[in-house]
Amino acid sequence: MTPPSFGFSLKWARLPRSQRLRKIAKLFSLLENSLVRGVSSPAGAEAARAAFALLCDDGSFAPAAHTALAAAHAAFSAPGLPPRALLRPLNTARHIVLAETGQSQADWDFIDHSGGLDPARRRVFPGMAAYLDDIRSPFNVGAMFRAAESFGVERLFLSPLAADPGHPRARRTAMGCTEILPWTRASLAEACRGAGTAAAALPVFALETGGVSPDAFPFPREGVMIAGSEELGVSPEALVLADASLGRLSIPVFGAKGSLNVSVAFGIALHAWARRLASGGAIDAAAGD
């Protein structure tokens, strides 16, 4: 792997402020990626100190931002600090500089500090599956992969028209979970037959308004939770199947908006299901328990 170039030029001081800040933000991003891998170089530290000196001499930052930049400068000037100790002040400084240039940061733009994911560390609840019913946003698909991996889902099923988990925004938002969580494109009927350990089709329920709250919902030991389109919710065909099986699960809300982003609701629902499974309180829906 080619080592990153941390070149810094004193000519940056003579550049227009916006151009200088963009160059510093790029330098900080390269350095942060290097520190995430545990690599600290004299050239990188020297370039960072020079950049921080310019920033600290810039009187246009708000007082709180200036204080944070001075603290980061001090961290990089202190001898012997390990790479991990430099990450937070550098990350804070990078976001301050980006905000000053008017660049807004989305979740998928963030640097992944977790490193590679080990599939062997996954705790899975066998037969716990979810179906993404025409989820259109790659951002939401990625966030739902991350929630599903976190709460023990064995497999995700995506409808034929759901957004691609391989989309760059989905991959960035999933933070590696699209690589370690098994998934398949399928119809809902195929998903119910293909999930879990039961020989028969598994019970299904829909994450939709007008249903039972997580505290009272009869979560199954094995089953498929359906989460529907951001705009239209769960499809009518899927609702028919869910209503004939375990019904609808709804997340109670108390605000004026009255609804949640689908990936947020999905995570809340999976957490409730996983807690029930971990405590042994789920029902054996297939056996009518």
**73-132 pLDDT tens trace:** 999 898 888 888 888 899 899 989 988 988 665 554 555 555 556 666 778 999 999 999
| Torsions phi, psi for 209 (to 5 deg) | -70, 160
3 state SS for 20-51? HHHHHHHHHHHHHHHHHCCCCCHHHHHHHHHH
Q: Residue 216: how many CB atoms within 10 A of its CB?
A: 8
- Confidence bin at 287 (pLDDT 50/70/90): very low
Say whether pLDDT at 251 is over 90.
yes
SS3 content of the chain, % helix, strand, coil (to 5): 50, 10, 40
Asked if 286 and 202 count as a contact pair (C-beta separation under 8 A), the reply is yes
Q: Write down the pLDDT at residue 157.
A: 96
Among 250, 152, 163, which Cα is nearest to 205's? 250
Asked if 192 and 125 count as a contact pair (C-beta separation under 8 A), the reply is no
Cα distances (angstroms) measured from residue 3 to each of 7, 49, 81, 242: 12, 19, 21, 54
Q: What is the pLDDT of residues 173-187, one digit of tens each?
A: 998 899 899 999 999
| Torsions phi, psi for 152 (to 5 deg) | 85, 15
Q: 221 CB contacts (<8 Å, ≥6 apart)?
A: 127, 277, 282, 283, 284, 285
CATH architecture for residues 121-287:
3-Layer(aba) Sandwich (3.40)
Q: Write down the pLDDT at residue 104.
A: 61
DSSP assignment of 187-211 equals -HHHHHHHSSS-SSPPPEEEEEEEE
Q: Could you state, in order of their start, the residue ranges of all structural domains in the chain?
A: 10-103, 121-287
pTM score, two decimals? 0.72
Q: What is the pLDDT of residues 22-55, one digit of tens each?
A: 999 889 988 888 887 777 778 888 888 999 999 9
Asked if 176 and 116 count as a contact pair (C-beta separation under 8 A), the reply is yes
Among 263, 265, 271, which Cα is nearest to 162's? 263
Share of the chain above pLDDT 90, in %: 53
Burial of 136 (0-12, 13-18, 19+ CB in 10 A): middle
